Amino acid sequence: MIMPMDGPARVLCVGGGPESTFEMPGWDVLRTFVDRFAPDVSVDLSTRFAATIAEWEANPTRVTYGVVGGRDVLVGLSYQTSPEEVLAAVWRGLCVSLARTLRDNGVDGPVRLESGHPGADVLADRLSRLGVRVQGVRTPVDAEDRVRIDALVRAVADTAREVSR
């Protein structure tokens, strides 16, 4: 499973049968909601992804996220819903969606996750807890990716500063 920083994830199935490829949601789902609901969280996700996700998962939420008919759907929102509850629901929904899509496409063997995203290890752990056998994580981050990540973090921090004024 290849999960680039932007765009959908691609799964290449190789093994006993013919090779097949399919796409499914990627990191951009989470990034879109972070940008919309809590842009200041983007810095935390780039520097301390595991700790931020652990905080989200430690707090219960009534909000659920899913994709219905190709549209993002959040259920359980109220005026008291915090941005972190929304992001926690999106994170959980993304993980469940990935696991379900793998199962629905007949992927029952070990999955190797390739991603330069700082949350790749956390995603691998979450998928394992959802029953997906993750064989390993490879994070190919080159200099160009680091420059793009740095630029994104700076842009988000600037936006957060402007919003908080």
pLDDT given at position 96: 93
pTM for this prediction: 0.79
| Tens digits of residue pLDDT in 72-110 | 899 999 999 999 999 999 999 999 999 999 999 888 888
Structural domains of the chain sorted by starting position, each given as residue range(s) with its CATH number in brackets: 9-164 (3.30.420)
Check if the beta carbon of residue 137 is closer than 8 Å to that of residue 121.
Answer: yes
Pairing of strands 64-68, 71-75: antiparallel
| Tens digits of residue pLDDT in 137-146 | 766 656 566 6
Instruction: Say whether 135 sits in a helix, a strand or coil.
Output: strand
- Runs of H (alpha helix) within 38-165: 41-47, 49-58, 83-104, 120-129, 143-164
| Tens digits of residue pLDDT in 26-72 | 999 999 999 998 888 888 888 889 999 999 989 888 999 988 877 88
pLDDT given at position 145: 65
CA 123, 25, 131, 60: dihedral to nearest 10 degrees? 70
